[in-house]
Amino acid sequence: GMFAVVLSPTDVNPPCITACPSGDILAATTTIKANTCYADSTCIADGARSSSRGCYKCESTKDQSVLTGPITGTGESHCYISDNCIPRGTGAPTYARYGS
């Protein structure tokens, strides 16, 4: 048989989406609020990091729908290993002090 599911009676755009004429939030015609990015299914302020991918950040003057990254190196809080942002130190071995 056939069935239908109503997820929401009215679609609500994320707060950083000011216009979505096609109904597809990822379409080129979608307007994203200034100084904001829409990526990883969320609004991200300019200069802020993605909460799900900490080595990527919003640089709205470059691209409002694609984050800049991976950003790694000295002083950064994440490493980029096998296409994943990993918090620095996560994979470090645990050492025990002997003779104490």
Q: Using the 8-state DSSP alphabet, how is residue 51 labeled?
A: S
pLDDT exceeds 60 at position 1 = no
According to DSSP, the β-strands at 57-59 and 63-68 are antiparallel
- The reported pLDDT for the residue numbered 6 is 47
pLDDT exceeds 70 at position 75 = yes
Residue 76: burial class (beta carbons within 10 Å; 0-12, 13-18, 19+): middle
| pLDDT, average across residues 9-19 | 85
Q: Which two tokens stand for residue 2?
A: 């056939």
Q: pLDDT tens across 43-73, in order? A: 999 999 999 999 999 999 999 999 999 998 8
List the domain boundaries for the chain. Answer: 17-87
